A and B are shown apart, each in its own frame.
Chain A
Amino acid sequence: MNERNRIFKLWATRAVVYLVLGAAAFLMLFPFTYMVFTSFKASGDVFRYPPRLLPYSPVTTSYAEKEAPLYRFEIDGRVRELVLTDAKETFGYFTSADLLNADNPRASTILVEMKLDEAMATGEQVTVSGSGDSSASFDAYEVPGQTEPLLLAYRARLDTFADPDDPQTVVYAIARTAKAVEKVDFQLSNYDTVFGLNLDRAFINTVLVTVGVTLGQVVTSVFGGYAFARIPFKGRDTLFLLYLGSIMIPFMVLVVPMYKLMVAIGWENRLVSLIVPWIFTAYGTFLMRQFFITIPVEIEEAALLDGCNRLRILWKIFVPLSTPAIATQVIFTFLYAWNSFLWPLLIIGEGNEPNHVLTLSLIRLSNIAADKPNLVMTGAAIAIVPPMIVFILAQKYFIEGVAASGVKG
């Protein structure tokens, strides 16, 4: 009995744990889910309320030698799918003078609703007073089946829906509010459209910048980290402290002079300004140094005695041994470079589109497609998905790296 109780308790705990984790996962992932589905929506499908996640598009059928959308109506208790035709019909909405709401005729209680040309205008006008001093005049009509003439409260142009198999069945309604027959349909063409709005160019630029910064950082960090970790020389520790201190200084302090420097050497508006200044990093050097000091000295000493020079030792011993650390740094740098925004925003002009990176093009897209969330989400997906793939492929290194920074900090 006790044993069963214990197992029950275990499973109950697990159920609660997974429920909590699942709820949190839903909150964390929902924005991305929204992004992905919206990126496949057609422009006519984005402003629906209540919102829905999946992309839909109307189902059409051929009617009168044309493709026309289908709508769903309930006729005599049966649901039928009718096709929207080009024909329009003006309908009149009639009521009596005492039921008429003069301030807002559309809110009046309607007695009869029928095609306007089937009613007969008497030519009379009746003035109905509303609340307060306001009043309005309405046309009077002879309406079949009614003894008294009724007043025309308002009229509306209705669309005509027909059954493609049975043209006798006709329904009049407003297409905008009618229930369209829809199917789930992914608009892949959004991606073509958005790539055509300079995101293709920006994508290539971002790849180039990211690869350049990552390669450069790894090379300078490996060299610098090795020197700090293994080669004793005068002033090394002071210099290392300086490096450490520099990590603390936020980039915004450097923004103005860096901008001026770039202008002075003619790098403003150039992609090189997004690469070269960023390949010298104190943080990466620190990271590599921390890893290198954990490699046993004996290996290196043996190699030195065998007449290996430092470069060979670095290349043949340290680099292979520190693959995890290098991978961590590669991923950190990749994400940082791919997602960077403030510096490109300052240094690459808004009009200089050929040199935009993804973040810049995305902001521009959000301005020119301000009323097309499907396109903005497509752009966001293009910018967000590649780093996510990299993260998923290499998450082990990444999470270890973050955790290590916390434990040591």
Chain B
Amino acid sequence: MSRFADLAHRLRPGAQSLRETWRSPSFVVDANIAWNHVIVAGSVMLALHVRNMDDFYNLGGAVQQFVSLCALVPALLAVLSSILINRRRAIGRSLALITNYLGMVLSAVYLLHLWGVFVGVDDIARALYKHWQWLLGFPIAYALLWLAGRVPEKSRARAWLEQAALGIAMLTLIVLLWVGNAVSGFAHILGTYDSLSTWLATLMILVFAVLAYRMLHLGEYFGETPDQRIAWQGWLMLSPNAIGFMLFFAGPLLLSFYLSFTDSTGVNPPNFVGVDNYRELLALDFALQDDLSVEPQAALDRGYFVLETLRLSSHRLVVGARDTQFWQSLRNTIVFCLLLVPLSIIPALALAIVLNSKIPGMNFFRALYFLPSVAAVVGTALIWRWLYNANIGYINYAIKRVVEFLNGTFGLGLVDPKYNWLTDNSTMLISIVFLAAWQLIGFNTVLFLAGLQGVPRILYEAAYVDGAGRWRQFRHVTLPLLAPTTFFVMVTTIIIGLQVFNEPYALIPQRPIPLPATTSVYYLYRTGFFNFEFGYASAVAWLLFALIFIVTLVQFRFSRAGAYD
């Protein structure tokens, strides 16, 4: 305790000038050590609090223990840094810096939470909705700024326009703050200071910030090298991204992996069940039936249901699965990808080759083809829902006209099929494929165009000199040189296809979506957010990820090996 007495002594007025005290490294070190005691106490209290919570957000005991252990990490950091900065070791300063910086950020986030800033976004949205006219000030300011860019530099008009744009933007902001009741929002924030935790969080930010700042400037005292100094700057700049990455990516990823081995549901906390979820999903049963008059189901073990039957001369092969819906959705997804690849790639390649001939208007067409890719899938799917309409839709109308034309000119006697695109089990999936292909063609065209730009013109000239015609130039120059691009486009298309969700959801009107149009991600959505089988849904997600991973690995291997040889 003598250290504290010393600290207090030095802070006493008159003992030293406050400024000098502030500057002295030993004071900062002592203050940091003192603050570390507080961190240890707080960290242990937090860990105990987490440990004693009755219902840890329905995440189960294991996660609770883990989080409670994580809450002890600051304590560990604090103890270590106390010992090491006392010995004037550089690593101790690093630990103290990390602790203080993270402490500052986390308490700032906590303070924002206490202030109600995060939840308050809803109120901001409401205020903007009520006074949306004022939002138009921003586009007007932007338009003025754009105009200013067209005016010759250093002219009075330009300066005036820029001033006006800035003025309007500021004015808009002030008006929005005023009509959006910023004053009452501020009052609300002040109101949160009636609780002790708000005061504590504010205090913590201040202490952490001051200590972090002082520690950062004690490099010399701890013998910091220039490289280390630069490294600090790097970490500092990376930190906003890295902290968010940990919170919203790495953490959930681990949790997802854990959940996939549990029986977590909407009501039950997770219990570890090993690979049960995966076994339930993947288990297949094969049986060979001699007697074809018996139901195929009879050949399967208990708990298995018929997925597929196959006639082999006098026998019948029965394939059963425990979760037939998963397998069917997986099959739908794979069929979807197999259809999507040619339907979106061949037209894209053709368009790219035509667009690559340097004649006027190509950029215009390229932009046109890209439009479907920028529109919201939910919107375009609803358009297509009506185009697919069996009675009044343009697609059936076009088919009818084509059939009539063929019958009229060639006397073929074809029958108008009058598809019920979205309600007939046999056409649902292909309807989704057409929509997705339409959406993807422009995107793939741009990728192919980029690839074509990389083909040296001299090769075509050489082929021309050698007497190769257009087709042979395409066959022997374009296609081989475009192979890496084609491969890349194919893999991207497959990866996009494996994750398809919005298209079936918005295109198919029935709920739940009938099995023939159920894709894997929709199945995941249904198990996770309709049946609330969180553990099971996580397992589905990881299986799908495994599939995507394999596709990516294949791409990685081939793109390394096969580029331009």
A contact residues vs B (CB 8 Å cutoff): 14, 17-18, 20-21, 24-25, 27-32, 34-35, 38, 46-51, 200-201, 204-205, 207-208, 212, 219-221, 223-224, 226-228, 231-234, 236, 239, 243, 246, 248-261, 263-267, 270-272, 275-277, 279-280, 282, 285, 310, 314, 335, 338-339, 341-342, 345-346, 354-355, 358-359, 362-363, 366, 370, 373, 376-377, 379-381, 383-384, 387-388, 390-392, 395, 398-399, 402-404, 406-407, 409
Contacts and interface: CB of A to CB of B under 8 A. Distances in A.
Contacts of A376: 382, 386
8 closest A-B pairs (Cβ-Cβ)?
A280-B244, A231-B234, A403-B450, A233-B231, A224-B241, A257-B255, A257-B252, A406-B447
Interface of B: 57-59, 113, 118-119, 121-122, 124-126, 128-129, 132, 135, 227, 230-235, 237-238, 240-245, 247-249, 251-253, 255-256, 259, 347, 350-351, 354-355, 357, 359, 361, 365-372, 374-380, 382-387, 389, 391-394, 397, 438, 441-443, 446-447, 449-451, 453-454, 485, 488-489, 492, 495, 499, 501-502, 505-506, 509, 521, 524-525, 528-529, 534, 537-538, 541-542, 544-545, 548-549, 552, 559
Nearest to B120: A272
28 contacts: A21-B354, A21-B355, A25-B365, A28-B438, A32-B371, A34-B383, A35-B379, A48-B392, A51-B393, A201-B129, A204-B125, A220-B244, A228-B238, A233-B232, A253-B253, A254-B253, A257-B538, A271-B122, A271-B125, A280-B243, A285-B241, A341-B377, A342-B525, A354-B125, A384-B375, A387-B374, A406-B446, A406-B451
Given A228-B238, A362-B382, A24 B541 contact: no
A366 B447 contact: no
B454 A233 contact: no
B499 A407 contact: no
Contacts of A253: 253, 256, 538, 541-542, 544-545
Contacts of B355: 21
B204 to A, nearest CB: 19
Given A248-B549, A377-B386, A208 B248 contact: no
B374 A232 contact: no
A326 to B, nearest CB: 15
Contacts of A254: 249, 252-253, 256
Contacts of B347: 24
B387 A31 contact: yes
Contacts of A370: 509
B57 A208 contact: no
A402 B446 contact: yes
A384 B525 CA distance: 25
Contacts of A373: 386, 389
Given A231-B234, A399-B366, A29 B371 contact: yes
Contacts of B501: 252, 342
A392 B495 CA distance: 27
Contacts of A232: 227, 230-231, 234
A223 B383 contact: no
A262 to B, nearest CB: 10
Nearest to B489: A406
Contacts of B450: 402-404, 406-407
A239 B495 CA distance: 24
Given A207-B135, A254-B249, A341-B376, 4 more contacts: A253-B542, A272-B119, A363-B378, A384-B376
Contacts of B443: 402
Nearest to B391: A49
Nearest to A399: B446
A157 B128 CA distance: 56
A277 B249 CA distance: 9
B386 to A, nearest CB: 5
A277 B375 contact: no
A338 B454 contact: no
Q: Which of B230, B241, B377 is the most central at the interface, judged by chain A CB atoms within 10 Å of its CB? A: B241
Given A28-B438, A376-B386, A355 B249 contact: no
A259 B355 CA distance: 45
Nearest to B252: A257
Contacts of A404: 450
A407 B451 contact: yes
Nearest to B232: A233
